[in-house]
Structure 1
Amino acid sequence: MTPLDHEFEVPLRRDEGKGAWTIAVLPGSGALLGTRRPVKVSGLMDGHRFDATLLPMGDGTHMVPVRAALRALVDKGDGDVVRIRLDRKH
């Protein structure tokens, strides 16, 4: 694992349609992580621990899929701003 220490404040967003994901897009993440490929990370979202695979958006950013259980823990949904601190890259 590689230590990280970076924080983002970004809104959650959800696409329309059944089965659509709720995501947070991390600006500048490609440069931060040194890749435009998927990256497994750990961190905190509004103080709650999570593990995720950041998925590239094709423009130098990555998105974090935010599962329903984590949205319930942070009590946030579409349009709400969350604080994401990435602390480890797997």
Structure 2
Amino acid sequence: MSTTQVLDHEFSAPIGVEVKGEMWACVEMPGSTELFGTGRSVKVVATVDGVPLTAAFMPTGTGAHMLSISAKLRKKLGKDIGDEVTVHITGRLS
């Protein structure tokens, strides 16, 4: 049975995180390791520019976390790599 830890954290960042020389359609969250208390993957409930989603923040390999912004979500938002989005995290699932 999963539980939800209530969070209220918001940040804005451009879509696009360089991983091993490739640009991924993700947003990097500043201060994520401190907020989550771990460098591992963290499943959250959030909104991206007001669109709800449940997804995992993945480790970047550089001590931070990133959230994938799928092609379907980017199309819905009318955004692409380089465009800024606002992510509002409302819960952490465990």
Q: In structure 2, what is the equivalent of residue 34 of structure 1?
A: 37
- What fraction of aligned residue pairs are identical, expressed as a percent? 37
Deviation at 1:21, TM superposition (A): 3.5
Deviation at 1:14, TM superposition (A): 5.9
Q: In structure 1, what is the equivalent of residue 49 of structure 2?
A: 46
Deviation at 1:63, TM superposition (A): 0.5
Post-superposition Cα deviations, 1:50-83, rounded to whole Å, max 9, x if no partner, equal: 1111111133310101111111111111100000
TM-score (norm 1): 0.88
TM-score (norm 2): 0.84
State the AA in 1 paired with 2:50.
G
Q: Write the distance in 2 (CA, Å) between the matches of 1:68 and 1:14.
A: 15
Moved over 6 A (4+): none
Q: How many residues align?
A: 86
The answer on 1:61 being equivalent to 2:60 is no
Q: Name the Cα RMSD after superposition.
A: 1.4
**77, 82, 89: which one aligns with 1:79:** 82
Unmatched 5+ stretches in structure 1 = none
